[in-house]
């Protein structure tokens, strides 16, 4: 079974494994920092989804430079409120 499994994986498996360990090694060496980003703050959603209402205005303001994510975090911390996105 082990002999068969070595030849049966897809070609992308090795690529994904190498990419994962590359990132893990860089993180452990302190060359990069991996930070958590809540789903509600994924800026790519502005470009990939049809957003409505507050979500659209929230991301538009960040992308157009009217406000920064740091300012949003500070407002959230000062006012003890959640993000304005539903």
Give burial (CB, 10 Å; 0-12/13-18/19+) of 66.
exposed
The C-alpha atoms of residue 57 and residue 83 are separated, in whole angstroms, by 13
pTM exceeds 0.95: no
pLDDT above 70: residue 35: yes
Average pLDDT, the chain: 76
What torsion, rounded to 10 degrees, do the Cα atoms 75, 76, 81, 86 define? 100
d(CA 31, CA 17): 19
C-alpha to C-alpha distance for 59 and 85, rounded to whole angstroms:
10
């Amino acid at each position: 079974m082990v002999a068969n499994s070595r030849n049966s994986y897809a070609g992308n498996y090795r690529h994904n494994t190498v990419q994962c360990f590359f990132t893990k090694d860089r993180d452990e060496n302190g060359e990069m920092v991996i930070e958590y980003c809540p789903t509600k703050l994924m800026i790519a959603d502005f470009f990939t989804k049809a957003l409505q209402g507050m979500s659209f205005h929230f991301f538009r303001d960040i992308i157009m430079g009217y406000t920064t994510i740091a300012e949003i975090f500070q407002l959230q911390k000062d006012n003890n409120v959640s993000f304005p996105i539903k």
